[in-house]
Structure 1
């Protein structure tokens, strides 16, 4: 996927070089001029579709959803805004990456920041140099002729304007570098097949554990000042609560017994990540992109509108209320959840998995709410060789 994305950006770079040398194409020429970029975008999307079982499916989906931002070249009069909207379309998946790796591997967190940064900077570039659409050269040549003379997309790009140097060339492997690489030596040994055992040393009898029971004993415990007393598991060190905006993401973490949390100022590009809060209430102002409620207990979130989705994951006895609109609500690995909908949000799509005690509260004309339980138990039958699953009556369906 990385190679395909790189090719897509190189293709767009070649297109922009062509645009700088060409007059604006006619309506008949424009599809041909944009054809190469369209093919690379479709290739990235197709790769994700054919690798949905990949362990990195959220990474692939994030790239697939936002790569359409390269189609800004065909958008008028607000291409910069279109590019940012495509970047926002990937937030649902980048949030999943953050949720999975935030406490495990910071590399993935840095990747999310870098990937969103690419489209953020691309949007700024478009806003500055192609404000209402691609800028063509009124004194340039024929776009079709210049397109044929454009630099190849697979090679190194030409130096950009302003004298900014291109990235350093890739290092070529030489016999010495291969010999010095322990990984290549490992594969070289593996390729020997059964001959690899020729380098193994014979173990003498005095070092064999099956002939010397004393070797099978583990290390002796260290005794200091008498017999040590057994210690229980150490209590986790409490972390300091914080409410902080990092880039386009608000972090609300480790809040406890705080009912006056207000996330503001916000914009449609912002998302909110609420992590390990307990017995707290968070109010999110204005319309934003998405909200994730992760590993919280007895915590409530109230928000106006979302562009993408509300996710409730690994929570216990939590509440959420939408005042205006939300397109999707995802509930996963949660025990006890109440979601209050508004009259404008009744078209919402609710996806749940591995959760219990989920209740959706629907508004009535009197201003009160009626409570509806989300089914937790299902029945599956085999019909004509296929599985047919329905909610059971016990689940409240």
Structure 2
């Protein structure tokens, strides 16, 4: 482990601790308005930014691939901002983390390394445990306590240090006796405090009959609500629109620089002129968060990676390795020379143009749709468009004892 990876792990732990605090607030507080809601999410947002910044500012680090897997996966903490089936957001983040995590697995397999404690599969299990937890307790998003206190007051009470003479918890509920056996680990241990169910109310004081307003008319008369306040309470406030996970990212300045043997091109948006790069055989290129931009790579490079980009047009000459594209929309690629393969993961819409020399290039697609391949195979040098199949029919062949997958062709 490097110092950077340890620092990133500490930030990840902090993120889960801040999210636990946020969930505790929701059990005691009424639904806040949008400014207060965003302020409650600020600690989680700061962790997401810190984890991503550690990856972006330490590209020469020997564990950069691991840093990238964690930086892409930590966005799972943004599930609290999703109203409809938030567990699907966690599943999507798992796919993003696996893009770099599986590279780590392959490198370890090729080197015959022993699996370290921070093995990627252990990280994957956190996603699965979190998704299971959300399915069980928050299938339709975060819920608030309709009879609770204002969220700001609850947040202050949780942030205040506990009194030295009090043994009660921050939620003012009697402490439960320690279980005989410790939790087995995994994500259940993170939220074990929230999974007590009905036992969480055992420490609440029973209300005496003399304090019940519905049994004492005099108490009701003494607590009459004014007309103005009653009119205010007659209508429930409209729920504030929660920010989407993408809004939790702060836009950074455009950047094009060479660090060691890696070019980094990121944060270009609606660039009027093409971004051109002169490369050599030992150099690789990373293109990240570039939208409505054209990037031209001149010369023979090692490998190109594109991630989190929309309406990006990429022109490459010749590559020793592959073009890897992950999480892109309306992507376009033109190959002037030759490349061995193109790998598309979570790509929504793409136009791929191959030259005559690159017609033998292999395409690998995963969770992608709307991919069209344009091949220059005619004598007149005209491109012929060939759509890649997006629908597969699979069935078990009992006669051969094997699974058969066929491309579904629609005639019309």
TM-score range, shorter chain: 0.3 to 0.5
Larger Rg, first or second structure (1 or 2) = 1
TM-score, structure 2 length as denominator? 0.44
